[in-house]
Amino acid sequence: MKKEEFLGELRSRLSGLPGEAIEERVQYYGELVDHRMETGLTEEEAVAGIGSINETVGQIMSEIPLTQLVKRRVDPKEKHSTGKIVALILLFPIWFPLFITFFSVFVSIYITAWVLWAAFFFVAVAFVVAAVGSVLAAVGYAIAGRPMGGIFMIGLALILAGVSLIIFLLDVGILKGMVALTKKLALGIKRIFVKTE
């Protein structure tokens, strides 16, 4: 893709943003392509090195504050047709409870996922504490002259430490998934306010 084609597509995909924000981003990516060409890349290679247009638009959307997008979308000067207003009022008993229900279910699932992450974290901590306690108990058995009890407690400590490691790794995976989901949700909400396709 050529530079002007890329910048034109970028400008068109960002058409819902404020004009100054669009021009700022287009100028930045134009300069980025120019800089890459100065290092010896061809125009097509320089554009390809930036990434796809979808990736670029996604990156830009993630950087724009949601408040700026909402202010742009909610224009107090915009005139609404009488038919739209009447339809919203008459259908309010249907759409509003449905909206509240879907929103509540979604928020409940999202919060539950974060609570599960916290629960796994505290379970992993509990297993670590139990492993340390088992090591201390093994020392107590050794001091009391009961080596078999000490060996059993060391084995138990190793098992508890292994389980805690597995739970911790699972918890890290859940955390990464939740962070990725949160970013996608934020980007999805922003796309409601700005048409990028």
- For the chain, what are the domain ranges? 3-64, 100-193
**Residue 42: its pLDDT value, please?**
87
- Enter the tokens of residue 47: 């554009």
Distance of CA 123 to the CA centre of its chain: 25
Q: How far, in Å, CA of 50 to CA of 62, rounded?
A: 16
Say whether 14 sits in a helix, a strand or coil.
coil
The pLDDT tens digits of the residues spanning 105-133 come to 999 999 998 998 999 999 999 999 999 99
Q: Which of 76, 75, 78, 72 is CA-nearest to residue 18?
A: 72
Q: How far, in Å, CA of 160 to CA of 104, rounded?
A: 38
Question: Hey, which bits of 21-85 come out as E strands?
Answer: none
Cα three-residue angle 38-41-46, rounded to 5 degrees: 95
**Residue 115: its pLDDT value, please?**
92
Question: Which residues in the chain come in under a pLDDT of 70?
Answer: 66-80, 193-197
- Interhelix angle 147-193/66-73, nearest 10 degrees: 30
**Residue 67: its pLDDT value, please?**
66
The identity of residue 27, as a single letter, is: Q
Q: What are phi and psi of 7, to 5 degrees?
A: -65, -35
Asked if 57 contacts 10 with a C-beta cutoff of 8 angstroms, the reply is: yes
